[in-house]
Structure 1
Amino acid sequence: MAEFDRGPTDGLAALFARVPDPPVTSAFWFDWGPVFYRGRLDGSARVLIVASDPGPTERIAGRSLVGNAGQRVQGFLTKLGLTRSYVCLNAWAYALHPGEASAMEGRLGEPAQRQWRNSVFDRATDTTLQAVVAMGFLAQEAVRLWTARPPVTLVEVPHPSNPNTAALLDAWRDAVALLRPLVTPDEDGDNTGPTYGTAFEESDYGAIPRRDLPFGAPAFLGDDAWVRAGPGGAQNAVRRPSPDDGHTLIWKAPG
């Protein structure tokens, strides 16, 4: 039987449903609703990835870190030997307009936001957790505000979409080297392969596993290798057109 994500437990679904509205609606891509997680919510995760906020592909999938950035994260997890024992969360459950990210860093500490987010972090992790990786400044602030964070290694690295590719790869290369001795690989994983060179190669990406996506997701969702291989430098099959980026998505399937 094909693997697929059966969704959160009733308790976690109830917690997700209590997500507070963003503090400043105009800063957020609000009308499409929140996106909460990807990966294991049953406490079996050995690594927690925290990123910033969902994007267009994440809205299609209803799962976090599925687009080009998420496929880079999947490649990062693959280099740690993890094929399933991870969970991916975000600082914000609602998508930010890119230019508003810095302005929203300080709002992560508002009591309703902090309490709800910390409850999600608490419920999504257990004693099996071996490391937390905070990707980008919003994620790093959210983790700093996590009062009950387990006493495991915290690694802070640039967000996978950071435009300074050299700094991103240097930090991710160091993070892989640091985490490999600390994180137990999955039985079908391998943490002995190459890490990162001076540019992202297609081998540095990972297709999102079917077990992380809802039943019925098309086979190409979460694998944009065909987009990256095309001309023009496109990276995602889903985009928000300007100026109507708050209400319209354009999703292209491979030919």
Structure 2
Amino acid sequence: MAEFDRGPTDAFAELFSRVPDPPDEQAFWFDWGPIFYRGRLDGSARLLVVASDPGATERIAGRTLVGDAGQRVQGFLGKLGLTRSYVCLNAWAYAVHPSSAEEMKDRLDDTAQLKWRNEVFGKAVGPALQAVVAMGFMAQEAVRLWDDRPQQAVLAKVPHPSSHDPVALVNGWRSAVTTLRAVIDADEDGDNTGPNYGEVFEESDYRPIPRRDLPFGVPAFLGDDAWVRAKGTGHPNSVSRPAPDDGHTLLWKAPD
């Protein structure tokens, strides 16, 4: 039987349905709607990954962190020996325009956003949680505002997977892997003894998104953009938002 994500429980679906509208719709790709999670929502996660906001590929998949950035995150999880015991969430459920990112960071403490987001964070994890990784400044602010973050969980702050500073990115992730390998128990089918990151990010540091993290029936290439990166065009995702109508148009390319 093929593995796939059957979606949130009724309780999580109800919670997700209560997501507040962003404080400034013009700062977000609002019309594309919210994206909420990827991974385990049943409290079994040993690691919670918090990133900033979903991208275009995430809209296609209906799951977060599945595009190029998500495939980098999957490689990070693999280096920790995690094949399933993780959950990925975001500071914002709606995609933020990059030009508005700093301004929206200062709106993460808006009352409705703060209450809803912290409820999601708290409900998504349980006693098994061993670490929280906050990826990028938006995620780090959201985690800072999470007042009842489980204190048994080690907090690691690292650059966002789409960071424009490749040196800081690979150095930060290498250091986090070293630290977290001593903290997080690997899954039975995982291996946390393999190579850490080198001096630059390599294709071998990516991993495809597992089928168990995606809805039933998505095409086999969704969650694996190695074929796009191999072209070296500078745009590493199979899904893009074309200007000037990026608020209402997505382009999705299949492999040749």
Aligned ranges 1:103-114 → 2 under 5 Å:
103-114=103-114
Measured against aligned partners, the alpha-carbon deviations of 1:58-91 in whole angstroms (never above 9, x if no partner) come to 0000000000000000000000000000000000
Deviation, structure 1 residue 200: 1.2
Equivalences for residues 1-255 of structure 1 within 5 A: 1-151=1-151, 152-255=153-256
CA–CA distance in structure 1, aligned partners of residues 7 and 123 of structure 2: 14
How many Å separate the matches in 2 of 1:133 and 1:36?
17
Q: Deviations over 1:187-239 (max 9, x none)?
A: 00000011111221111001000000000011000000000011323300000
Q: Distance in 2 between matches of 1:231 and 1:12?
A: 39
RMSD between superposed Cα atoms in Å: 0.5
SS state at 1:248 partner:
coil
Unaligned runs of 5+ in 2: none
Using the TM superposition, give the Cα deviation of residue 144 of structure 1 relative to its aligned residue in structure 2, in angstroms.
Answer: 0.5
Query: Which TM-score applies when normalising by structure 2?
Result: 0.99
Whole-angstrom distance in 1 between the partners of 2:110 and 2:40: 27
CA distance in 2, matches of 1:243, 1:13: 33
Aligned partners of 1:137, 1:148: CA distance in 2, in Å? 20
| Secondary structure of 1:81's aligned partner | coil
Task: Supply the AA of the counterpart residue of 2:162.
Answer: S
Report the 3-state secondary structure (helix = DSSP H, G, I; strand = E; otherwise coil) of the residue aligned with 2:31.
Answer: coil
Take 1:135 and 1:192, find their aligned partners in 2: how far apart are those partners?
A: 23
Hey, what's the Cα distance between the residues in 2 that align with 1:11 and 1:47? 21
Aligned residues: 255
1:233 & 1:102 partners in 2: Cα distance?
Answer: 25
Rounded to whole Å, the distance in 2 between the matches of 1:122 and 1:92 is 15
TM-score between both structures, scaled by the size of structure 1: 0.99
Q: Provide runs of 4+ in structure 1 moved above 4 Å.
A: none
